[in-house]
A and B are shown apart, each in its own frame.
Chain A
Amino acid sequence: MATAALARPGSRSDLPILLAPVSALLVLVFFVPLCFVLFYSVYDGGFTTKAFVSLAKSGLFIRVLGTSFDIALSATLFSILLGYPIALHLSRQPPRRRALLLILVLLPFWTSILVKSFAFYVILGNQGIINQALRLAFGDAGTLKLLFNRVGVIVGMAHFLIPFVVFPVLASLLAQNPELRRAAQIMGAGPVRIFLRITLPLSMPGVVAGGLMSMVISLGVFVTPALLGGKSDIMMANLIDFYTRDTLDWNTAAAIAVILLSLSAVLIALLSWVRRDEGVA
């Protein structure tokens, strides 16, 4: 990169032409909209902080905030629990096989959230696959409520989040020196001890990065709680939608968005701090 610039001194004059379109697009359709959110959060016919004040006192908002954190944390933990073994499994495969299996991990990432919601509707519903199987085994007592409640939301979100956990964890597992494990084994350590004392601690930066990314994504989730959750699983994004479209209260909608934005910003700052500390991109 540096050599290219050195070889063509003065060619930096191209930069404005190269960067103008992307800057225009970002400013006009990303930064200006964000400013509109900030503006409307403190504006309702005149400047006011009443939306924030009434949100702080609103039982509904406090409950939704709690639900959002509850669901985001549960979904993140569940994704780490399912994603870590996958990353470990991938890290022990020969490169060609790993590339093939990675396609399975990438597929949920590229699959429409609506396709997945529909599929989970078929899998988890009262007439769904799991309940049909349970009824076959236990009779009518075997029906479990898996849809339109917390279970449905968390399962649906974990499916979406697993790729975001697998990739950073896989990177930190592949960066480990295999000689360490070999040395431990020669010294007589069993596989469980090797995992708990070497592999797992060394991969923690990847786990933390993946976990924080999952938290950022899940706090702002909109579709999954709306389609797979029940009334008590409404999250911040759904509340924003409700105030914007149903009650046309843009002031409150924008205030919730500002709160969500600040929470995400804290998590993203933590994430970039973790990553800088590690030096793993």
Chain B
Amino acid sequence: MTTSDEQLGLTPGARIWRRAHSTFAACVYFFLLMPSLIVVPMSFGDKREIMFPPANFSLTLYQEYFFASTWMATTLQSLKVALASAAISLVVGFLAAYALVRYDFPGKRLLNLLLLSPILVPVIIVALGTYLYFSSLGITGTTAALVVAHSVHTVPFVIVTLMAGLRHVDPNLERVAELMGASRMTVLRRVTLPLLKPALFAGAMFAFLISFDEVVLSWFISNTLTQTLPVKMYSSIQWEVSPVIAAVSTILTVLSLVACLISAAMQKPS
């Protein structure tokens, strides 16, 4: 199945082509990795300057992040919003994914498209619309507003992940349990959900991270009291770049790496 160019015996021209191509690919991989590689050493620099490599190494930026500023408050706010919207989109997304995988009904294709539309429409438009709508309701700036706005944005990712997961859960197992007299709730609790655990975990992780990193919706909907971490980072980079961002970025990079490994692991079975 793999092409095995080796079997054919490479001509010198082919060897040069391959070498050139691999070198170029390596450069692009490096370009992709570079931002993540840079923020880590930066985070151990000091408060004075933003330079790479940092002149002297210290933990002051982490100290500043954890103790001496409003960074922690915004982080906690982001954590709260991300946990709540992950929970909402997990429940709502599971029900929808179950309907889409286990049932056939007219308009299913259309519904599928509609459910994914929040990721296709540019976020700025949804952000503006939500801002106008929530302003008319008088709820902009509340944490609840942030949570529901984020949930709409995260639920398509959860649905896609859970649909893939549900396709690997044999519906016959559910049917057998039902034939043996288990109620629908028992089947769900004892058969479907346990078998779906990896996908549920991945879906929750994706939703959490997307919400935790979301900036455009939060920029429009939050106020100074409900500011999230990305909004604070955004305004900080825009006005005067605080070196503390390096420490924040390192923590976020670790989170991204975890999500990345999970999504890579999710791709294998399918």
Contacts and interface: CB of A to CB of B under 8 A. Distances in A.
Interface of A: 1-5, 7-8, 11-12, 14-15, 17-19, 21-22, 25-26, 28-30, 32-37, 40, 82-83, 85-86, 88-89, 92, 94-95, 99, 101-123, 125, 127-129, 159, 162, 178, 181-182, 185, 190-192, 195, 216-217, 219-220, 222-223, 226-227, 236-237, 240-241, 244-245, 250, 253-254, 257, 260-261, 264, 268
A244 B92 CA distance: 31
Nearest to B98: A18
A148 B233 CA distance: 18
A184 B259 CA distance: 42
A217 B31 CA distance: 20
Contacts of A181: 3
Interface string B237-263: 110010001101100110011011101
A95 B269 CA distance: 12
Interface string B23-45: 01100110111111011001000
Contacts of A99: 264, 267-268
A242 B194 CA distance: 48
Contacts of B88: 25
Contacts of B101: 1
Sorting the interface of chain B by its residue count into under 10, 10 to 19, 20 to 34 or 35 or more gives: 35 or more
B115 A22 contact: yes
20 contacts: A1-B101, A8-B175, A19-B96, A37-B132, A88-B21, A89-B25, A103-B261, A103-B264, A110-B256, A112-B213, A114-B237, A114-B252, A190-B11, A192-B17, A220-B123, A222-B124, A227-B237, A244-B220, A257-B129, A261-B125
B128 A127 contact: no
Contact of A121 (B50, B118, B252): B50
A15 B128 CA distance: 32
A125 B5 CA distance: 43
A244 B127 CA distance: 11
Contacts of A121: 50, 237, 241
A94 B2 contact: yes
A1 B219 CA distance: 41
Given A36-B129, A110-B263, A104 B29 contact: yes
A30 B260 contact: no
B128 A37 contact: yes
B47 to A, nearest CB: 15
B133 interface: yes
Contacts of B39: 115, 118-119, 122
Nearest to B212: A112
Interface in B217-231: 219-220, 230
Contacts of A105: 32
B252 A30 contact: no
Given A22-B155, A114-B245, 19 more contacts: A5-B103, A7-B175, A15-B105, A17-B95, A18-B95, A22-B159, A25-B151, A29-B152, A86-B25, A105-B32, A107-B32, A110-B209, A112-B233, A118-B233, A118-B237, A125-B50, A181-B3, A244-B220, A264-B120
Dominant SS among interface residues on chain A: helix
Contacts of B125: 34, 37, 220, 240, 257, 260-261
A115 B249 contact: yes
Given A12-B105, A85-B25, A115 B253 contact: yes
Given A30-B152, A36-B136, A85-B21, A114 B93 contact: no
A7 B177 CA distance: 14
**Max chain A C-beta neighbours (<10 A), residue from B133, B230, B259:** B133
Nearest to A38: B129
A22 B21 CA distance: 46
A106 B34 contact: no
Contacts of A115: 35-36, 39, 248-249, 252-253, 256
A204 B211 CA distance: 34
Given A257-B128, A261-B121, A118 B152 contact: no
